[in-house]
Amino acid sequence: MKSRFTAIALDDYIEKHLRANPDVSREDVRARLEFAIAAHKAGKRCSCGAEIWIVGSAEAGLSCFTCITGEKYPSDDYEIAINQSAARQ
């Protein structure tokens, strides 16, 4: 079972998101993701104490993968790569 996020660049994720959600504004998606990235970089944690999931937090508030989805492990889920290496795993 895969138990890690698939790292994706911010711009690549925005393109995928817009293809799946054509009625959403590019600027809105970018602003929400950048807010979640800034919170992650600042050390913001989910109310359960886990690291926040940037992609999910941009949609559902600053929370971790498990609290947002109810699932223990990501499976084919993306996370924004916030540096030159992979996203948090």
Q: Tens of pLDDT along 3-22?
A: 689 999 999 999 999 999 99
CA atoms within a 13 Å half-sphere pointing along the CA-CB vector of 55: 24
Spell out the domain ranges in the chain: 6-80
* pLDDT score at 3: 61
For residue 78, how many other CB atoms are within 10 A of its CB?
19
**pLDDT higher than threshold 80 for residue 86:** no
Q: Give the global pTM.
A: 0.86
- What is the per-residue pLDDT across 58-83, written as a single tens digit (0 to 9) for each? 999 999 999 999 999 998 899 999 87
